[in-house]
Amino acid sequence: MNVITLSGALQWLTAGGAAVLGSMLTSYLGEHWAWFQKKKPAFRRIAMPAVSGLIGLAAWAVVEYVPPAVLDKLGEPFAALAVAVSAALANQAYHALVNRKTATSEEYPPANAVNFKPGPPPGKPA
């Protein structure tokens, strides 16, 4: 399945990709948008399946009701957009990986530590 093509992306979304995309979107909202964080836990709990379901139904409706000629016409612009978005996401992932900071024991003590006293980083004398 080639998700760079419009028909491939729609097929992926209707075959379960909507759950992946929906969970990514709601996870992003949960971490970065204050208005979403302020919602009641019950709302946040149903947000992911609701968003996933809406994305899947929308993809199915496009496949079912939009004429194939229209989808073919939109195929090339969609491919250009998909490649550009993929490149931007790959760039972000690369920079996140390269620029990440290594956590020290002072910042993140072991979870099972009792009376944890941080010492020097490994490899440095005390």
Calpha distance 92→90 (Å, rounded): 5
Scanning the structure block, which residue is given the tokens 């989808």?
A: 71
- pLDDT tens-digit map of 30-76: 778 888 888 888 888 898 888 889 999 999 999 999 999 999 999 88
22 by Cβ neighbours in 10 Å (0-12 / 13-18 / 19+) ranks as buried
The beta-strand segments (E) located in the chain are none
Residue 79 contacts residue 6 (beta carbons within 8 Å): yes
pTM above 0.95, yes or no: no
pLDDT digits (tens, 9 = 90+) for 91-118: 888 887 777 665 555 555 555 555 556 6
What is the pLDDT, as a whole number, of residue 62? Answer: 93
